[in-house]
Amino acid sequence: MTLATLGLTLVDPLSVVPFGRDQARQMKMNLAVEGNDIGAFGREAADLRTLGSYVRSR
């Protein structure tokens, strides 16, 4: 992780590289959720479907 942070910090000033210090900072965060909270959106897990099945149904 330290090497990746160093590399991203060094390439930050280069406009041709789309990554930089912001991405290095984000890599340190754990963005995974603890559980499934789909009920907060008023839906059930059975209501979910893949993008492929959605496109095929259209």
pLDDT tens for each residue of the chain, 58 residues long: 678 777 777 777 777 777 777 777 777 777 787 877 888 889 888 888 999 999 998 8
Please state the pTM of the whole predicted model. Answer: 0.34
Q: Supply the pLDDT for residue 36.
A: 78
Q: Supply the pLDDT for residue 50.
A: 92
Q: How many domains does the chain have?
A: 1
**Contact predicate 20/11, CB 8 Å:** yes
Which domain covers residue 6, as residue numbers? Answer: 2-56
* DSSP assignments along 4-30, one per residue: HHHHHHHHTT-TTSS--HHHHHHHTS-
